[in-house]
Copies of this chain bind each other. A is one copy, B any other.
Amino acid sequence: PMDDAARERARSTFDSNELAAFLHDGEDKLQRREELVKLLSSQPWGDKTHRYFLTREQEYVGGLKAMVGMWQQMRQGRLSLEDGIAMRSLAYFPGGLELHIGMFIPTLLSQGTPEQQAKWLPMSNRLQIIGTYAQTELGHGTFVRGLQTVAVYDEASREFVVHTPSLEAHKWWPGGLGKTATHVILMARLFAQGRDYGPHAFVVQIRDMATHLPLPGITVGDIGPKMGFNSVDNGYLAFDHVRIPRDAMLMRFSQVTEEGRYVPPPPDNQKASYATMVYVRATIVRDSGDFLSRAVTIATRYTAVRRQTASKLGEPELQARQLPPLLLPACWPVLDYDNVQQTLLPLLARAYSLVFMGRSMMDMYNSFDAARSRGDFGVLPELHALSSGLKALCTDITAAGIEACRRQCGGHGYMLASGLPTLFNSYVQNCTWEGDNSVMYLQAARYLVKNVLAAQAGKPITGSAKYLSSAAQQADAKCGVSTADDWRSPAHQLAALTRVAAQLAAQATQVLARAGGGRVAFDGEPWNNSTVDLIRAARAHVALYLHQNFVDCVEAAASQRALGAAASGVLRELMQLHGVVLLLEASSDLLEGGYCSGRQAGMLREQQRALVRSLRPNAISLADSFAYPDYQLNSALGRKDGNVYQALLDSARISPLNATHEGPAWKEVLEPLLSPAVRSRL
């Protein structure tokens, strides 16, 4: 297989180092990553050799050690934040500090008063307290307004009484809550002077600092094993009339005075909390490309060296015995089978698209952030809708893509050592947390339908839904493609995707209006009865946006001459393939709406085949350009050198089940059955 890997690389028509440097903002960044890999793999907590063999307890301890280890490296080595982020991705060992870093500290920063920040932040940054974010309850997730945990202000003592009134009200899910956190940001329903003000945030200490035991009135524990992410101790939490001081409430926006008077937040508060959501969703969009490209790298490298026979046996004894050469048929790498390459090349295109989308999404967030600091929240509604819709689409694509990659690897893809099962099982939660994907599409749909109505009312439309303003004309436009090659043109591709998006948006609005007896309502029964159409429309809208972004990025790279002609040409072909893949998914809509003829739709398949064939020689170099170090992938099948079988065998040999030859069932179960001596004694 090692020869095969080299041979594959030799076929490439462009320099993968060049594309890698482009994707990673320069060679120095790639070099820095190599240094960090050395640093990590030299640490006991950074060693990945046994990663796939850990028990739940070992995973939990290991994840914590890795995070604490990195944190100490950063302090001692005075590493940059960028280094820290890179290390976290390289080590990929999420632990009980995820929410401390990702939610506890950020919420203090955004919602705490200066005094609260002065009190909590220094300890948080030194890991002298560890926090998490406790919102979801056993019975209440998506529907945040339904939370039941209460914080009732007691004017007499000037304290809040925090309480869990029912089974359903148990907090459930917060990461790091199970065994790690000492504090939580608690979302609880605020009652003051007898009135219910809905969910508010409080800082609550839950464990004793000297013993780590739960404080009186507090029940806390780990929620148990999950499909993946088991190094994180997601937890449950209940309060039995626990008293916390008044200043435990995060009071930057809303307040409760000593007398118990409620001071409502200024209008910007809600905008600020939307902004936080946008930020988190943007990071999920960014990570989607990261995860899909890992899976595609593994599958592409493996299928490029996986042959169903070796060319010859090369066994000396057999040769000495003068056996005739084995008549083994010449054998392909499985990546040469039509079915494998037509699965993997499109996924390569998608991975590139998601990587570009992730960067644009973060750019958009950052420019919003700059505007916001000037008090300008103008793009927020658009950004909120886009980030929700893209969160759903990108995580859907990545989750399905990882599993498709795994399947292409045949039996060996089922081994943890391949890296793919863990990637899938730890990734799929992204389709659910921070807003279930159906609910996310519906957020985007709400925005879309509003724009449809505005367009119908003749109002000007800006931003991502701009195409709706010309929707009336589009309805009887026809596809102008006359040869399969025409489908390569971004103009034809975008026109067709736009048409589908406009058509489905109009359709969904119609369905919604019909369900509401002519009136368009954004909630209640009519809305809930129309969600399938609304979700389809939102998907088409963000799919168009996703492709437009790929086209824009490729064109920008070309016009800035950021890449040589060879690499730039390959990237363009990938972008063309991406468009064709999206259009094939939409082909029944294109046909149903009468935009395409059957022949034109058939040409999409023809063009997909042509593009896949043309890209095939560059498959491995396109994977190489993602530039994942072997350390990061931790995959026997995804090794750059192609030495896959040795890696599988090496990994099996150190599996704990092989600690003894007889195995753990011998004495108790097998010996009484199998051993003649023991059997005769029974």
Contacts and interface: CB of A to CB of B under 8 A. Distances in A.
A141 interface: yes
A56 B55 CA distance: 8
Interface in A317-354: 317-318, 321-324, 326-329, 331-332, 336-340, 342
B212 A338 contact: no
A326 B196 contact: yes
A196 B64 contact: no
A653 B221 contact: yes
A172 B418 CA distance: 14
A602 B592 contact: yes
B221 A652 contact: yes
Interface string A635-679: 000000000011011011101111001111110111101111101
Given A148-B313, A433-B411, A598-B593, A224 B337 contact: no
B410 A421 contact: no
Given A52-B225, A309-B140, A648-B172, A129 B674 contact: yes
Interface residues of A, number: 149
Interface stretch (A177-185, A278-286, A378-386): A177-185
A655 B145 contact: no
Contacts of A178: 657-658, 663
Nearest to A599: B592
Nearest to A316: B165
B223 A645 contact: no
Interface stretch (A21-29, A76-84, A528-536): A528-536
B652 A331 contact: no
B194 A649 contact: no
Interface centre among A324, A410, A609, A669 (most CB of B within 10 A): A669
A414 B429 CA distance: 7
A682 interface: no
Contact of A592 (B323, B587, B649): B587
A313 to B, nearest CB: 5
Given A60-B663, A141-B411, A431-B407, A222 B658 contact: yes
A326 B198 CA distance: 9
Interface in A428-461: 428-429, 431-433, 436-438
A438 B334 CA distance: 12
Contact of A670 (B212, B236, B593): B212
Interface centre among A152, A317, A528, A592 (most CB of B within 10 A): A592
A649 to B, nearest CB: 7
Contact of A315 (B163, B329, B651, B657): B163
| A contact face: mostly helix, strand, loop, or mixed | mixed
Interface centre among A221, A322, A332, A339 (most CB of B within 10 A): A339
Contacts of A225: 52-53, 415-417, 655
A200 to B, nearest CB: 15
A562 interface: no
A629 interface: no
Given A432-B407, A663-B60, A336 B528 contact: yes
A213 interface: yes
A46 interface: no
A160 interface: no
Contact of A167 (B152, B318, B649): B649
Contacts of A233: 657, 663
A55 B648 CA distance: 21
A224 B417 CA distance: 8
A594 interface: yes
A194 B588 CA distance: 59
A173 B602 CA distance: 41
B663 A165 contact: no
Given A588-B587, A598-B591, A531 B196 contact: no
A211 interface: yes
B141 A313 contact: no
B663 A416 contact: no
A128 interface: yes
B674 A307 contact: no
A168 interface: yes
Contacts of A96: 665
A131 to B, nearest CB: 12
A139 B339 CA distance: 20
Given A212-B662, A661-B214, A528 B337 contact: yes
Given A61-B668, A209-B674, A413 B432 contact: yes
A317 B163 contact: yes
A569 interface: no
A414 B141 CA distance: 13
Interface string A393-435: 0000000000100010011011111000100110011011100
A593 B601 CA distance: 10
A148 B236 contact: no
Given A142-B410, A143-B309, A145-B329, 13 more contacts: A53-B224, A152-B321, A166-B314, A194-B321, A222-B652, A224-B657, A227-B414, A338-B530, A339-B531, A414-B428, A414-B429, A414-B432, A588-B588
20 contacts: A56-B656, A60-B664, A60-B665, A139-B645, A140-B308, A146-B331, A148-B313, A163-B315, A165-B315, A166-B315, A170-B645, A179-B663, A196-B323, A209-B676, A212-B674, A221-B658, A224-B655, A226-B414, A403-B428, A425-B425
In the A-B complex, list the 7 residue pairs whose CB atoms are closest, starting with the nearest: A179-B663, A143-B308, A165-B315, A146-B309, A227-B421, A591-B591, A588-B588
